[in-house]
């Protein structure tokens, strides 16, 4: 069944997901990771109906660019501890290297998944 509640743009969904994870309370970061300041903004997204397709595209992009094992490690770390600028073990931070901009994609993936699969 499709919910007929208020629809939000995907950008709003992603922003809310990031804020929710930040508000969950984090311990001091082991390594602070931030996307490069020159990173382009995410493309404009239309509406919630696009979420399942976006989830699949983001997941495939992250797996392809990061490799499955690194993607899973980063995904689980962000899912368990908050956003990508929170703690990551030094080994994971080193593995990510030049692919740090993909951490934002992992955050976006998690925010979209929460919206679609954990409707509360």
Q: Is the pLDDT of residue 77 over 70?
A: yes
Per-residue pLDDT, 93 = 59
Q: Find the Cα–Cα–Cα–Cα dihedral 34, 40, 41, 43, rounded to 10°.
A: -130
Report the alpha-carbon distance of residue 51 to residue 66 in Å, rounded.
22
Long-range contacts of 18-21 (CB under 8 A, 24+ apart): 18/83, 18/107, 18/111, 20/114, 21/78, 21/82, 21/83, 21/107, 21/110
Q: Which residue has the higher pLDDT, 81 or 58?
A: 58
**Hey, is 37 helix, strand or coil?**
coil
pLDDT in tens, 29-63: 444 445 445 544 455 455 556 788 888 998 999 89
Average per-residue pLDDT for the chain: 68
Cβ pair 117, 81 in contact under 8 A = no
Exposure string of 47-83, with b = 16+ CB inside 10 Å and e = fewer, is ebeebeebbeebbeebeeebeeebbebbbebbeebbb
**Hey, is 71 helix, strand or coil?**
helix
Q: Is the pLDDT of residue 28 over 60?
A: no
Q: What is the mean pLDDT of residues 21-34?
A: 50
Banded pLDDT at 87 (limits 50, 70, 90): low
Q: What is the mean pLDDT of residues 13-20?
A: 70
Q: What is the mean pLDDT of residues 99-118?
A: 82
């Amino acid at each position: 069944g499709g919910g007929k509640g208020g629809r939000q743009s995907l950008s709003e969904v992603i922003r809310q997901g990031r804020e929710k994870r930040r508000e969950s309370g984090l311990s001091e970061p082991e390594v602070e990771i931030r996307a490069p300041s020159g990173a382009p903004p995410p493309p404009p997204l239309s509406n919630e109906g696009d979420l399942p397709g976006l989830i699949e595209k983001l997941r495939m992009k992250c797996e392809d660019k990061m490799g499955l094992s690194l993607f899973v490690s980063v995904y689980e770390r962000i899912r368990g501890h908050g956003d990508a600028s929170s703690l990551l073990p030094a080994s994971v931070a080193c593995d990510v290297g030049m692919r740090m901009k993909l951490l934002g994609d992992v955050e976006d993936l998690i925010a979209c998944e929460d919206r679609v699969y954990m409707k509360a």
